[in-house]
Amino acid sequence: MKQRTRIILAMDETDKEKAIRITELLKDEIDAVKINWPLILSSGPEMINKLSKITDVICDLKVADIPNTARLIVENAVARGACAVIVHAFTGEDSLKAAVEAADGKAEIYAVTEMSHPGGMTFTAKHAEEMAELGIRCDVSGFIAPATRPERIKVIRKMIGTKKILSPGVGAQGGKASEAIKAGADHVIVGRSVYDSEDPLSAIREIQKDIRSVL
């Protein structure tokens, strides 16, 4: 995934036509589109192939299974054209390693350290540093760290050297793009505040402006 605008669009939509239309509209304003299971369940796994023809696709599958299942999920997503897959680290070293091996250098694997929603504090936040260390051992490409808690991005940033940080929670969840970038994120992830906007182009350009203010 190239670093141009530093923005990843989270297409948390289940409407196939809208997902394709908004991705087409914003493809020059974003570094990648991120999709997840609800879109695959509503529109079929072929959506990975279709969107990959428009822009880079990050499959945010939050893979959280035993090694063999993790391997099968990643292999399928990569074969369909995904440039990256997001995987949980809390399932342990064997599962995370299986995901990295399945990507086989053809796609990036990002590991979740802690989650951006309130429930993410209960278990994931307690082990974020251990999970970052695990991700480094498993040679992931980078990590997911919440824009809603920039101080946590800083902690992870210090641990992971040149590995990348993708930061969700910008916009509707309350995180600010510039704060996440200042704290050490390489890309911010924005969703509803853009794709549900009456004017998605203006909405994303506002975020670009906010990001440029700290670069």
**Site residues (vs its own copies, CB under 8 A):** 12, 14, 36-38, 40-42, 44-45, 61-62, 64-69, 72-73, 76-77, 88, 90-96, 115-124, 127, 130-131, 134
Least Å distance between CB 142 and its own copies? 19
Q: In angstroms, what is the minimal distance from the CB of 39 to its own copies?
A: 9
Q: Is 84 helix (H, G, I), strand (E, B) or coil?
A: strand
Q: Which is nearer to its own copies, 145 or 211 (CB)?
A: 145
The residue type of 196 is D
Q: How far is CA 147 from the centre of its chain?
A: 12
Pairing of strands 84-88, 57-63: parallel
Catalytic one of 62, 106, 158, 176? 62
28/38 with CB nearer its own copies: 38
Helices then strands, each counted (H, E), the chain: 10, 8
Coil, strand or helix: which one is 61?
strand
62 catalytic per annotation: yes
**What is the nearest approach in angstroms of its own copies to the Cβ of residue 100?**
13
CA distance 112 to 116: 10
As annotated, the active-site residues are 62
